[in-house]
Structure 1
């Protein structure tokens, strides 16, 4: 059984909870259920490591440790792949992309960035009351970070938070999702057994108890909270952190719109729309789940997309022929199915899908047409392989519909006229946009949202700067 990582030691818990294989519904293994006392101990260890060791100030040591972590991840890649397929339900093809192989390189990216990133900036001398004052700014670690991640991309999200936080010199308490505890604990084991990262710098907890998360978000010794998950939970975390004025970074929900303008090539855009909606069974916050098409091309677009979604293979995640795996749990599948059934009752046309497949928690690729842009299925995050097709009248109407959402995480525009596509994209209130299928999700590109899709950015230089504080200095030189 895997163990918690607290203050450099791999420790057990008095109680355990089951982790299920979502492709079969069977118990995969038991995970330790951290207590609130163990959460307190993890925070105390992180605080002590930050306050009493050289970790926040020794850049070369941090680079070396990140190099070691990257090497350990690469060397244990295949073990992590098997566990990701079994516990997360990610297909093999997905692990060769955003579930595992690409996230591992985030550690390499931040180790390399730290080698060249300027932690000191001169802002020039100034004459003040007859004296010359030199002024400069130093960037230093923000402190103890509580990182809370969801189930859908656990390796990617853990490393997107840990790697820049560690590069910045912070210490971390990472809490894995209750649905995918084992893969998160595996990261803790690699850190403990294959790196020189000092005790307390990284602590890894798993627990289904809400109280454990509350310790991390309210503890006065935690300086930064970074959370990825549902918008409703993000609101509660912001409120909980307000008593101690913590820095809060949130990557929340999305209801992203892909707009096909009237001159778009449907043969090119349909695969982009159809396969993307089924990526990881739709369990991705940035997936385009609304497809906006010109009203006069609605039926034509639906026909093209249905043909693509009909080719989506699903089943055993370990079979390389399968593109899509299961939803994470029976609870999530019931939620998705309920939303689809209500959408049909509200007037949407069920073109294909809308079926539960057993064993496991599979749900067929689902296409809904003639969707009302104000309906639940067009406004609420589904987190399942469901694509809602919404007709629009003209470019202005498309922009209005796309922006009519509490979310603003991602989106896309397709047009034969690239400048026209870009002009429309610039009017959409989202943090990331794809033009004619362009891929923004790389280590160098900042990722995050507008509105209730979150605060702050992961990846790239801004991802590092989320974990840095600015300190301005001045001294008299003449």
Structure 2
């Protein structure tokens, strides 16, 4: 049996799937708006899994459910609900005490955790993520929320005092910005989405949440938790085709913050739709073409191990993935041999298979695009150098190492977002530096070397070209307490547990001249607890 057929045989009949991992179709006929789960009887979108099933007509994607295709009407109703809940900063949520908001968020975490098994299973079936990674995504998201609550308490403790300067007494705190439009990505539809959604909510903003095209159904089990945990209108979920519903929301000028993870082109178009750009704050995580640089002084086994993790975790469908590897010519042959051997040991399989490393790719058109990129590279002088590289069986695409890649090829410029590893040989270190200078992207780089002086000579130019330099390690987002951002077309704003809270808020202060009358007024307000802002309460 050839390798193509071996990959096809990984798709098994439903009765061969362990019972605990089988899925019943989820047909969503309600959506969350203005504190209600409203019934939907309009058009729906069918959700087909990248996991395929043998049928009499061959392998077919399994239908796992449907969800509403909302229209501009429902989107505008959700916007009005969010505006009413914010009420120009006078609503229940933006004026609530921080302690009150934290209690609501803790209730949400509790209710969210009750849906863990359902959400994990939907992650597996909707986007083809392995059981281990799906479980990790859910648990990491819960940990992120807990860390966000702790960070907010810490920020508030630092703000629970008065400052006096030049005869003026003041107290400064962080206050909300208004209505946030939050749009997450398909590759981490829960975790990445919640890294903007959670800080936006807890800082007192109200929210419109547009789920990604792939990874929509998994949010359905959480709608009741949102409804029951927060005042009405604080969280509203917008369904429908993004091109139909989101530009109109932006054109109203009533969106105060755009939180978007996706392509820079879509982000640019959405921002341009807003009539008053000076009023719009954007928190964006966008395109990336992160490079690894393997010098002649690298520990090649370590470099290969980390590059495999960086390039092929979740099939390379990550903005932080290593998407290009520069290798010094003196070690290129040995590196490529080790890389091919390591890939041959990776286990392809279904998401529930124990120890699986490679699963079906999420997007239906991705295998064809990856083949197009490889064909283009071959036409311009490259080869696929690993055994079985680029073998495609329906939604399975076995990783391909393409070498030698040059500037004429798509793989040199375009973000492949899939299991293809372009390798570029270099002689002078100026070559990868110049690549990064010319690149429209500027998220991260990984440098592999055991020579401290060589590493130090690369750190200084690269920290001014990308936002994170990884030494002998893959590119990655975490830990979540570290800043996560990018230069050029890769990001706007900074996300981390602490930075995200600041991104979705603004410093406001109450100040007065320091005299006996004003001191008495302030003391009375503080002692009587009449203001949630002007307060010395200390949250432990």
> Which TM bucket (shorter chain)?
over 0.9
Per the alignment, residue 340 of structure 2 pairs with: 306
Unaligned segments of structure 1, at least 5 residues: none
In 1, are the aligned partners of 2:253 and 2:274 still within 8 Å (CA)? no
Q: Give the C-alpha shift of residue 333 in structure 1.
A: 2.4
In 1, are the aligned partners of 2:138 and 2:191 still within 8 Å (CA)? yes
Q: Distance in 1 between matches of 2:456 and 2:398?
A: 34
TM-score w.r.t. the length of structure 2 is 0.82
SS in 1 for 2:348: coil
Deviations for 1:3-22, whole angstroms, at most 9, x for unmatched residues? 32111111233111111111
1:194-205 matches, cutoff 5 A: 195-205=228-238
Aligned pair in 2 of structure 1 residues 264, 78: CA closer, same or farther (>3 Å)?
same
Per the alignment, residue 21 of structure 1 pairs with: 49
Deviations for 1:277-327, whole angstroms, at most 9, x for unmatched residues? 121111111101111111121111111111111222222112123112222
Q: Does 1:357 align with 2:382?
A: no
Per the alignment, residue 337 of structure 1 pairs with: 371
- Name which of 146, 149, 152 aligns with 1:114: 152
Q: Give the C-alpha shift of residue 133 in structure 1.
A: 2.5
Larger radius of gyration: 2
Q: Distance in 1 between matches of 2:354 and 2:236?
A: 34
SS in 2 for 1:112: helix
- Name which of 124, 127, 142 aligns with 1:88: 127
Per the alignment, residue 467 of structure 1 pairs with: 504
Q: Distance in 1 between matches of 2:351 and 2:289?
A: 26
- Name which of 98, 106, 110 aligns with 1:59: 98
1:337-416 matches, cutoff 5 A: 337-352=371-386, 353-358=389-394, 361-373=395-407, 375-416=409-450
- Select between 340-349 and 140-149 the one with higher mean Cα deviation: 340-349
- Select between 312-321 and 299-308 the one with higher mean Cα deviation: 312-321
Aligned pair in 2 of structure 1 residues 190, 324: CA closer, same or farther (>3 Å)?
farther
In 2, are the aligned partners of 1:104 and 1:159 still within 8 Å (CA)? no
Q: Give the C-alpha shift of residue 229 in structure 1.
A: 0.4
Aligned pair in 2 of structure 1 residues 418, 109: CA closer, same or farther (>3 Å)?
farther
Q: Distance in 2 between matches of 1:389 and 1:134?
A: 60
Q: Give the C-alpha shift of residue 33 in structure 1.
A: 0.9
SS in 1 for 2:468: coil
Aligned pair in 2 of structure 1 residues 93, 223: CA closer, same or farther (>3 Å)?
same
In 1, are the aligned partners of 2:47 and 2:64 still within 8 Å (CA)? yes
Q: Distance in 2 between matches of 1:178 and 1:342?
A: 28
Aligned pair in 2 of structure 1 residues 419, 61: CA closer, same or farther (>3 Å)?
farther
Per the alignment, residue 237 of structure 1 pairs with: 270
Q: Give the C-alpha shift of residue 141 in structure 1.
A: 0.6
Q: Does 1:211 align with 2:248?
A: no
Q: Does 1:11 align with 2:38?
A: yes
Unaligned segments of structure 2, at least 5 residues: 1-26, 53-60, 516-540
Q: Does 1:183 align with 2:218?
A: yes
Aligned pair in 2 of structure 1 residues 426, 72: CA closer, same or farther (>3 Å)?
farther
Aligned pair in 2 of structure 1 residues 209, 163: CA closer, same or farther (>3 Å)?
closer
Q: Distance in 2 between matches of 1:424 and 1:146?
A: 39
Per the alignment, residue 311 of structure 2 pairs with: 277
Q: Distance in 2 between matches of 1:454 and 1:364?
A: 30
In 2, are the aligned partners of 1:123 and 1:136 still within 8 Å (CA)? yes
Q: Distance in 1 between matches of 2:428 and 2:215?
A: 44
Q: Give the C-alpha shift of residue 72 in structure 1.
A: 2.3
Report how many residues are paired.
469
- Select between 215-224 and 260-269 the one with higher mean Cα deviation: 215-224
Per the alignment, residue 220 of structure 1 pairs with: 253
Q: Does 1:34 align with 2:82?
A: no
In 2, are the aligned partners of 1:70 and 1:105 still within 8 Å (CA)? no
Per the alignment, residue 71 of structure 1 pairs with: 110
Aligned pair in 2 of structure 1 residues 287, 124: CA closer, same or farther (>3 Å)?
same
Q: Does 1:250 align with 2:284?
A: yes
Q: Give the C-alpha shift of residue 430 in structure 1.
A: 1.5
Q: Distance in 2 between matches of 1:144 and 1:419?
A: 49
Aligned pair in 2 of structure 1 residues 355, 61: CA closer, same or farther (>3 Å)?
same
Aligned pair in 2 of structure 1 residues 301, 206: CA closer, same or farther (>3 Å)?
same
Per the alignment, residue 153 of structure 1 pairs with: 188
Q: Give the C-alpha shift of residue 125 in structure 1.
A: 4.0
Q: Give the C-alpha shift of residue 373 in structure 1.
A: 4.0
- Name which of 61, 79, 86 aligns with 1:43: 79
TM-score w.r.t. the length of structure 1 is 0.93
